[in-house]
Amino acid sequence: MKPAAFKYFRPDTLEEVLSLLAEHGAEARILAGGQSLVPLMNMRILSPAVLIDINRCRDLAYLREEGGMVACGALTRQGEAETSALVADRLPLLAAAMPHVGVRANRNFGTVCGSLAHADPLGELPSVATALEARFVIASARGRREVDAEEFFVSALTNCLEPDEMLAEVRLPVAAAGGKSVFLEIANRAHGFAVAGLAALVEFDAGGRCSRARLSAMGAGDTTARLRTVEALLEGGTLDDAVIREAGAAATKAAEPSDDVHASAAYRAHVTGSLVRKALRQMLGNGEQGR
Amino acid sequence: MTLILRARFFPPLRCGTDGEDPVMSPEKITVRMTVNGKAYVRDVEPRYLLADFLRHELYLTGTHIGCEHGVCGACTVLINGKTGRSCLQFAVALDGAEITTVEGIAGDGPLHPVQEAFHQAHALQCGYCTPGFLLTTIEFLGQNPDPDRDEIRQALTNNMCRCTGYLNIIDAVEDAAGRLRAKGGEA
Ligand SMILES: Cc1cc2nc3c(=O)[nH]c(=O)nc-3n(C[C@H](O)[C@H](O)[C@H](O)COP(=O)(O)OP(=O)(O)OC[C@H]3O[C@@H](n4cnc5c(N)ncnc54)[C@H](O)[C@@H]3O)c2cc1C
Ligand code: FES
Ligand code: FES
């Protein structure tokens, strides 16, 4: 279990990263926290000819609030987001999901953007970014473009980046006042990958009706999946027990999970429904806590 | 484990097949690292993992290798003060870093209070996982000096013990917390 040889570059700035990507493109891989890339290289599932290590690009490590969004740079570690006061205050959904991403030693090095770029359908952060309707800032030597989560996540472990592009920043909309968010997951063990999960965000109008619902399920499809039928069912109505039960059933129906050694597809679909019911009940019970 | 089984998800990509190294004669790169307070300079291939660097270049074989894909925690060391999987770090990427391995926590002196607590609680059987658990415990108690048992259990998810001696390990961490607090109180 040793990686194949590769050529190693350690640029200091985003500009240098982008010019290396322009030069090496499809041959190259970005090395961020290495917590997904290096296992795959150790197992020789991946053998990139060139690694572009972005860990010296200190300018890419930041979390800052601008225009109703929290901008998170490509080098911001998961552990930094987990302990950030800004994240705790402005992005309660992300804060709730953070401790579930691997274990401490993985989060000390793994980056938020690396997890998004990796696009695992069982990743917590892709699911949170989808529910929050995050904006993905993509950079290359040719310029910048911005896409939404549904464009960014193409399928399992596949994102929309061209070979000369990188994810420079993700922009996560700040939680609305009066909104509630819950993150839940079911795993075989208390750590590592889950078998199913849910990021849920519901906003209410002055009359207590649900004005906006965003639910994104982990492990319920080939990529992190918005539960649109459930959202439509919730929006405009009041959250009561009947609606919650209906929402759970709709979620089970909407889920298109797959079987693997960790869980069957039928179990995952069932759990997706249970998680929706549980999340909505928590929102009713928790007062302002789940904001 | 998870990653092997889930590998079918990976997109077919521009990668060499097993054994085919895309770069035939990789150049070596000079790396400077401080390990357990001692400065080292070595020339290594970029693909050299920190775990192998510690064991084969520096002969610090206290860092154990289990799974080599980040899951088990046997290879855990402190990298600039934070626990990291040495099987997932390239040595060249750590130029200028400070590393602490199990050999460095007490030096040649008496056992570190965390080691003493593991010893007293019989928190090791074969001992293969122990170096990783010790470094996880040192990081954890530095951040949370007075944890409850649930917090200890949560922190210990960082490592696996195949001898499944978890209950004694939890006892040891609880005892170690008391020892470190008492020591801090004296100082
Ligand atoms: C034991 C273990 C348990 C784990 N458990 C979980 C879990 O429960 N949930 C979970 O979601 N993840 C889990 N992970 C994965 C972990 O969260 C990774 O940190 C994360 O998926 C990738 O982040 P990274 O910074 O380490 O990226 P890397 O491993 O460095 O990169 C991952 C991929 O993304 C690319 N990449 C990285 N950054 C960029 C960028 N800015 N632009 C373009 N491409 C980029 C790389 O080229 C590579 O292909 C686990 C990993 C391990 C080893
Ligand atoms: S050897 Fe298992 S985590 Fe590194
Ligand atoms: S004591 Fe044997 S693996 Fe933990």
A96-148, pLDDT tens digit by residue? 999 999 999 999 999 999 999 999 999 999 999 999 999 999 999 999 999 99
Query: Closest ligand to B156 CA?
Result: 3
Choosing from A139, A157, A173, the residue where a domain stops is: A173
Q: Let me know: does B4 contact A42? Beta carbons within 8 Å.
A: no
Tokens of A247: 């929402």
Residues A81-92: tens digit of each pLDDT: 999 999 999 999
Q: Let me know: does B12 contact B1? Beta carbons within 8 Å.
A: no
Ligand 1 lining (C-beta closer than 6 Å): A 29-37, 39, 74, 101-102, 106, 110-111, 113-115, 117-118, 120, 123-125, 161, 166-167, 192-193; B 70-71
How many C-beta atoms surround the C-beta of residue A83 within 10 A?
13
User: Could you tell me which residues are beta bridge partners of residue B141?
Assistant: none
Distance from C-alpha of B46 to C-alpha of B54, rounded to nearest angstrom: 15
Q: Which of A21-30, A86-95, B25-34, B119-128 has the least mean pLDDT?
A: B25-34
Answer yes or no: is pLDDT of A191 > 90: no
Q: Tokens 């090496």 belong to which residue?
A: A24
Nearest to A76 by CA among A103, A115, A102: A115
In this prediction, residue A92 carries a pLDDT of 98
A34 and A76 assigned to the same domain = no
> Which value does ipTM take for this structure?
0.94
- Domain assignment present for A11: yes
Answer yes or no: is pLDDT of B22 > 80: no
Distance from C-alpha of A74 to C-alpha of A114, rounded to nearest angstrom: 7
State what percent of residues in chain B have pLDDT above 70. Answer: 84
- CATH (domain of A49): 3.30.43.10
A82 and A132 assigned to the same domain = yes
Nearest to A125 by CA among A183, A166, A86, A173: A183
Distance from C-alpha of A42 to C-alpha of A26, rounded to nearest angstrom: 20
Distance from C-alpha of A218 to C-alpha of A205, rounded to nearest angstrom: 28
A68 and A149 assigned to the same domain = yes
A42 and A26 assigned to the same domain = yes
Q: Is the CB–ligand 2 distance for residue B77 below 6 Å?
A: no
- CATH (domain of A186): 3.30.390.50
A278 and A186 assigned to the same domain = yes
pTM surpassing 0.80? yes
- Domain assignment present for A85: yes
Give the sign of the dihedral formed by CA A172, CA A173, CA A178, CA A182. Answer: negative
A164 and A196 assigned to the same domain = no
In this prediction, residue B11 carries a pLDDT of 41
Give the residue from A6, A51, A104, A153 with the most B CB atoms within 10 Å of its CB, the best one to mutate. A104
Chain B contacts in chain A segment 179-218 (CB below 8 A): 189-193
Choosing from A129, A153, A173, the residue where a domain stops is: A173
- Domain assignment present for A289: no
A265 and A192 assigned to the same domain = yes
Domain range enclosing A265: 180-283
In this prediction, residue A287 carries a pLDDT of 42
- CATH (domain of A130): 3.30.465.10
- Domain assignment present for A1: no
Tokens of A117: 């770029």
Q: Tokens 């889950």 belong to which residue?
A: A194
What is the average pLDDT score of chain A? 95
CA A105 to chain centroid: 19
A43 contacts: CB under 8 Å, gap ≥ 6:
A1, B3, B4, B7, B69
Domain count, chain A: 3
A23 contacts: CB under 8 Å, gap ≥ 6:
none
A160 Cβ under 8 Å from any chain B Cβ:
no
Q: Where are the beta strands (DSSP E) in B3-117?
A: 29-35, 38-44, 76-79, 82-85, 98-100
* Mean pLDDT on B30-43: 98
* Domains, chain B: 29-105 (3.10.20.30), 110-186 (1.10.150.120)
Give the sign of the dihedral formed by CA B52, CA B53, CA B58, CA B60. Answer: negative
A215 and A190 assigned to the same domain = yes
Whether A109 and B89 lie within 8 Å, measured CB to CB: yes
In this prediction, residue B185 carries a pLDDT of 66
In this prediction, residue A114 carries a pLDDT of 98
Nearest to A109 by CA among B42, B70, B96: B70
A73 and A118 assigned to the same domain = yes
In this prediction, residue B19 carries a pLDDT of 46
Nearest to B54 by CA among B70, B69, B76, B73: B76
In this prediction, residue B186 carries a pLDDT of 58
Residues B90-146: tens digit of each pLDDT: 999 999 999 999 999 998 889 999 999 999 999 999 999 999 999 999 999 999 999
Q: Give φ, ψ of B54 to 5 degrees.
A: -65, -45
Is B39 in a helix, a strand, or coil? strand
Nearest to B70 by CA among A188, A3, A38, A79: A38
Among B5, B18, B84, select the one facing A105 at the smallest CB separation: B84
Single-letter residue type at A262 = H
Q: Name the residue with the closest Cα to ligand 2, atom 3.
A: B70
Nearest to A178 by CA among A156, A142, A206: A206
